[in-house]
């Protein structure tokens, strides 16, 4: 994490590739609050399970996405907000 540059290094991203991602000041503030709490959990990955038998272990990406989707529904966020745009191939198939 490099707050000065506003970037994060993703070590194992999609396809297990490294990449650099941008993040704003608000994001770093939220991450700092989590990092303080994370020190109270067992050693392990930064983003992990926080409760239950697997506490402290890696939080699976599919589980994280499902949880975030449910939080968005609970907060009343419309489904279309943040949805990725359809691929050009999908748009061609959708045409009458």
Within a domain: 51: yes
Q: Give the total number of structural domains in the chain.
A: 1
Within a domain: 89: yes
DSSP helix/strand/coil, 56:
coil
Within a domain: 2: no
6 — pLDDT class (breaks 50, 70, 90)? confident
pLDDT tens-digit readout, 55-81: 778 888 788 888 888 888 898 888 765
- In this prediction the pTM is 0.49
- The domain of 24 spans 7-94
Within a domain: 1: no
pLDDT of 80: 65
Helices of type H across 2-80: 25-38, 61-75
């Amino acid at each position: 994490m490099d707050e000065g540059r506003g970037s994060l290094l993703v070590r194992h991203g999609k396809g297990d590739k490294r990449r650099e991602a941008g993040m704003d000041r608000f994001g770093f503030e939220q991450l700092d609050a989590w990092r303080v709490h994370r020190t109270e959990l067992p050693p392990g990955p930064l983003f992990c399970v926080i409760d239950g038998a697997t506490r402290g272990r890696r939080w699976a990406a599919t589980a994280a996405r499902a949880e975030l989707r449910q939080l968005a529904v609970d907060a009343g966020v419309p489904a279309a907000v943040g949805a990725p745009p359809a691929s050009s191939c999908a748009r061609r198939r959708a045409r009458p």
